[in-house]
Amino acid sequence: MEFFRIHRTIPFMRHALVLNAISVITFLLAVFFLFHRGLHLSVEFTGGTVMEVAYQQSVDVGKVRETIGKLGYADVQVQNYGTSRDVQIRLPVQKGQTSAQQSEQVMSALKAVDPSATLRGNEFVGPQVGEELTTNGLKALGMVVVGIMIYLAFRFEWKFALATVLANLHDVVIILGFFAFFQWEFSLAVLAAVLAVLGYSVNESVVIFDRVRENFRRYRKMNTREVIDNAITSTISRTIITHGSTQLVVLSMFFFGGPTLHYFALALTIGILFGIYSSAFVAAAIAMWLGVKREDLVKPTKREGDPDDPNTGAVV
């Protein structure tokens, strides 16, 4: 399915050096902010108090969050769980206050607004749990990267595998850089979004590299740069349909999903936009600079009579 077809190949790789220079600068800035400011980690990673509060009727999560915010909690997480009458509250660690004191203070404020509020559970999440989550998250990220490299190395060629992994890490670091620069809260939901972006970017790279392999077989007189340009141009319509429809869903979560899904959708939005860019310009350009050629992807055969080359109109 195509909305349109571009009949003239767009010379994307002509600007590869400039575009990748911009990518390198953006990447280095992201790394700088990660080390200089660090990530604003949520309660899951840093530890804190988790409260479960029940009401006799449906409760407005926004009003609960506003009530707790007046107590001085800027990073409180409030969300429904189970039913609309049950609320889970995550409070960051406060110096000079125990978990019990935090819980008592919050419950006093909630009951002042709605006397039916009842504390059903109160649990302290220690920093050691956060360290374990951080370690497991990094392991998951590493396993995804290794799996991607193995898959692409078998399906295509090691140069494509290396190019794709570098492009995907470029996307991940830039997402983290945004969160570090703006000090947006980094939670488990955001980590899930980062892992989703990895798979999403790989899918786009696989589509382009599949077309590159097909073009190498079909157009024998094209050089590597022309083959890559043609592959990217011929997949533009598919890219617009796929990423556009996905972005509509993500934007609906961003605008209507509430604070719980806000940063999850924001991370996906950044990842989708940079995923398109990195697949078309970063991964393809790195593969080209690594010296990928027809012989890497197409096994030589003794058959003659290849299809016509559309650039020359002559039979190759």
pLDDT in tens, 100-146: 888 999 999 999 999 999 998 888 877 666 677 778 877 877 887 78
In the DSSP assignment, the letter for residue 6 is -
* E strand spans, the chain: 40-41, 48-54, 77-81, 83-92, 118-125, 185-186
What is the reported pLDDT for 1?
52
Contact in structure between 47 and 102 (CB atoms under 8 Å): no
In the DSSP assignment, the letter for residue 122 is E
Per-position DSSP letters for 61-118, written without gaps between them: HHHHHHHHHTTT-SS-EEEEESEEEEEEEEEE--TT--HHHHHHHHHHHHHHH-TT-E
What is the reported pLDDT for 136?
81
What is the reported pLDDT for 36?
93
What is the reported pLDDT for 308?
47
Residue 3's pLDDT band, with cuts at 50, 70 and 90, is: low
Contact in structure between 147 and 164 (CB atoms under 8 Å): no
Task: Check residues 225 and 220 and name the one with the higher pLDDT.
Answer: 225
* E strand spans, 214-274: none
Name the least confident of 41-45, 76-80, 107-111: 41-45
Average pLDDT on 166-177 reads: 90
Residue 4's pLDDT band, with cuts at 50, 70 and 90, is: low
Average of per-residue pLDDT values in the chain: 84
| Helix residue ranges, H only, 219-235 | 224-234
What is the reported pLDDT for 316?
38
pLDDT at 99 over 50: yes
Contact in structure between 222 and 296 (CB atoms under 8 Å): no
Q: What is the largest CA-CA distance in the chain?
A: 85
Single-letter residue type at 230 = N
Residue 22's pLDDT band, with cuts at 50, 70 and 90, is: very high
- Range picked from 25-29, 56-60, 218-222, 296-300 for highest mean pLDDT: 25-29
pLDDT at 310 over 70: no
What is the reported pLDDT for 128?
60
Task: Check residues 245 and 146 and name the one with the higher pLDDT.
Answer: 245
Rama region for 219: left / alpha / beta (φ>0; ψ in -120 to 50; rest): beta
| Cα distance between residue 186 and residue 179, in whole Å | 7
pLDDT at 25 over 90: yes
DSSP-based three-state secondary structure for 27: helix
Average pLDDT on 62-78 reads: 86
Domains in the chain: boundaries: 12-39+129-297, 48-125
What is the reported pLDDT for 17?
92
CA geometry: angle at 12 spanning 11 and 17, to 5°? Answer: 120
CATH fold of 48-125 reads Alpha-Beta Plaits (3.30.70)
| Cα distance between residue 181 and residue 196, in whole Å | 22
Contact in structure between 184 and 259 (CB atoms under 8 Å): no
CATH 3.40.50.300 matches 12-39+129-297: no
Model pLDDT for residues 260-308, shown as the tens digit of each residue = 789 999 999 999 999 888 988 899 999 999 988 887 766 665 554 555 4
CA nearest to 73, candidates 63, 65, 85, 82: 65
CA nearest to 93, candidates 150, 130, 47, 55: 47
pLDDT at 313 over 70: no
Residues 6+ apart with CB under 8 A from 142: none
